[in-house]
Amino acid sequence: MDVIHLLVVELSRFQFALTALYHFMFVPLTLGLTFILAAMETAYVITGKEIYKDMTQFWGKLFGINFAIGVATGLTMEFEFGTNWSMYSRFFGDIFGTPLAIEGLMAFFMESTFIGLMFFGWDRLSRGAHLAVTYIVALGSNISALWILVANACMNMPAGAHFDPETMRLTSTSFVALVFNPDAQAKAVHTSVAGFVTASMFVMGISAFYLLRKQHREFAARSFRMAALFGIISTIAVITLGDVLGRLDYEHQPTKVAAMEGLWETSKPPYEPWILFGIPNDKKQTNYLEVGVPFVLTPLLTHDFKTPILGIKELQIQAGPKIESGIQAVSALKRYSENHQQTDLDIFKTHQKDMGYGFLASQYAPDQDVTKIKSEHIPTIVKKTKSDIYPNVFVTFWAFRIMVFLAIYFFIVFAMASYVSLRREIEKHRIFLKIISWSIPLPFIASEFGWITAEVGRQPWTIFEILPTVISSSTHSSGYMIFSLIGFLLLYSIFIAAELFLMFKFARLGPQIHQEQTSSLQTIFTYQKG
């Protein structure tokens, strides 16, 4: 029987989540560090001071280690749409494939070609030309992220597409609507600046480590100062764009917002609190141990004090008729594909907007075929499907909170770091330096949880309200999935071990300070050979 095994769908989701989160450990640092490198090299070209060249080369080396795995794991992502999400790729490829291909054409090619020159071209290019190459790499990696997020945005907020019953897929109608999808624009900037925050913390943290050990002091102090200033600007941008995104989600993805905020019941403005702590229970549809700040939630999301925000229970009630209508739509669509009768097409057209809910219900239909649902069973199937229309609240709620709490923490740390380092007092605050060097992993964690918020929050859909995850995957056997999962787990564990080992090794080793230093400086530096 031609049916999708739900276990395979779960395993495919697990594998995709695993590989995407893994890939996303390397991306933010790449996005940010390229611009920090460009800034350092600009300082070198303008001032002519060798120390800035040393800074560029040292941080460049760490960048290289990170970039290699970023590229390697990115390959996986591009292949997985085809290998594991066949139905999704076929259904959405006309739209979704476009930004991915453009990413390759426009950005990835540029970034990867010039990165070779960035590392190998120091002696072969003039200072100006090399600086231009570094900027091209920085731009390339961020444009790359832009296109990937254009692709991501059309999953979250489909635009510039309509469903064509002849080809059984979404058809591209507007390239402009695809690219200028507001979700894409906001997400791209949010992600890039999150990368800047990550890289700033990375540079600041390692510099703090040198300052604590009184090594490479001038080098570290300069790197620290640049990173702190870069970091505070980026953190402000991250928070601002995060607010924009929250509002977009509120307008377009009510289930995601309800899950992020742990809202089971529709909110009561203006008093409704923003929950600081709580343990959402998905089975009982309630939050335990809830602690919140009153009067915050409504203005935070809606930017006014009156509008109520729909809770999950109310969204479920609203979904009921949509599911029924969706079952009609999918049944008519199937009959149409078999007989090509105009009457079926007309029925489909009247229910078309709820098609996704029909697909979502198909997992409960006999043989996964909605045309086989007997009319007396429709209420039970609608009831079952209703429990699937929202994401896992516990995960979405906490992923969102961890990201937000960390963002606030970054703001405080970067603000203090900028203040003390501009006053040239940073070396006096040893405890602060220690805190900073221990904070290096935090932006990575925040980025990962941001990704989890966005993508777990999108469930149960791969294309929001159009194609559910349960029918998006390939029709493999679970044996295939176990094979690939074991492979990824093994390989990726080796990678992370090698990466961390090399990162620590080269970070400990420190920069190779150039020979043409002033003699006074040379005595200060504990010179280590790399």
Partner 1 sequence: MEYYVIIKLIWAVILCVLFIGLGLMVGMDMGVGILLRFVGKNDIERRTTLNIIGPHWEGNQVWFILGAGAIFAAFPTLYATAFSVFYVVMILMLFSMILRPVAFEYRSKIDQGFWRTSWDWIFLISGFFPMFVCGAAFGNILQGVGYHFIWNGQYFQDESFWSYLINPFAILCGLLSVSLSIFQGGMMLMIRSEDPIYSRAKKYATMAAIVATCLFIVGGIWIFQIKGFVLASGDPAMSPNPLFGQHVITYKGAWLHNYYDYPILWSLPIWGILCMLGAVLMAQSNKPACGWWIGLGIWIGVIGTVGAAMFPFFMPSTTAPDQSLTIWNSCGSLYGLICMAILVCIFVPIILSYTSWCFYVMRGKVKTASIIKDHHSY
Question: Could you say which residues in the range 61-90 bind partner 1, by CB under 8 A?
Answer: 61, 64-65, 67-69, 71-76, 78-79, 81-90
**Contacting residue, 47, 281, 343, 475, with partner 1 by CB under 8 A:** 475
Q: Residue 304 corresponds to which tokens in the numbers above? A: 């006014």
**Contacting residue, 112, 266, 392, 478, with partner 1 by CB under 8 A:** 112
H runs (alpha helix) in 48-126: 50-84, 86-102, 109-120
Residues 6+ positions from 389 with CB-CB distance below 8 Å: 255, 315, 316, 319, 323, 357, 360, 460
Number of C-beta neighbours around residue 85 at 10 A: 23
User: Which residues share a beta bridge with 164?
Assistant: 169
Q: Residue 228 corresponds to which tokens in the numbers above? A: 């702190």
**Contacting residue, 460, 484, 507, 511, with partner 1 by CB under 8 A:** 484
**Contacting residue, 33, 474, 510, 517, with partner 1 by CB under 8 A:** 474
**Contacting residue, 114, 163, 219, 461, with partner 1 by CB under 8 A:** 114
- Looking only at the bridges linking them, the beta strands covering 286-293 and 467-468 are unpaired
What 504-512 contacts at long range (C-beta under 8 Å, 24+ apart), as own/partner pairs, is: 506/61, 506/62, 506/65, 506/530, 507/62, 507/206, 507/209, 510/58, 510/210, 510/215, 510/216, 511/54, 511/55, 511/57, 511/58, 511/216, 511/219, 512/54, 512/57, 512/58
Identify residues 171-200 at the interface with partner 1 (CB under 8 A).
Answer: 171-173, 175
Size of site (CB under 8 A) for partner 1:
87
User: Which residues share a beta bridge with 291?
Assistant: 277
User: Which residues share a beta bridge with 117?
Assistant: none
Residues 118-137 as x/- pattern, contact with partner 1 by CB under 8 A:
-xxxxxxx------------
Q: Which is nearer to partner 1, 93 or 292 (CB)?
A: 93
Identify residues 338-377 at the interface with partner 1 (CB under 8 A).
Answer: 338
Identify residues 314-343 at the interface with partner 1 (CB under 8 A).
Answer: 333-334, 337-338
Q: Residue 387 corresponds to which tokens in the numbers above? A: 């429990």
Min dist CB 47 to partner 1, Å, is 23
User: What are the φ and ψ backbone dihedral angles of 348, each rounded to 5 degrees?
Assistant: -60, -45
Min dist CB 149 to partner 1, Å, is 16
Identify residues 2-41 at the interface with partner 1 (CB under 8 A).
Answer: 2, 4
Min dist CB 60 to partner 1, Å, is 8
Q: Which is nearer to partner 1, 311 or 511 (CB)?
A: 511
Q: Which stretch binds partner 1 (CB under 8 A): 111-119, 397-405, 416-424, 446-454?
A: 111-119
Q: Which stretch binds partner 1 (CB under 8 A): 115-123, 236-244, 260-268, 382-390?
A: 115-123
Q: Which stretch binds partner 1 (CB under 8 A): 269-277, 379-387, 431-439, 498-506?
A: 498-506
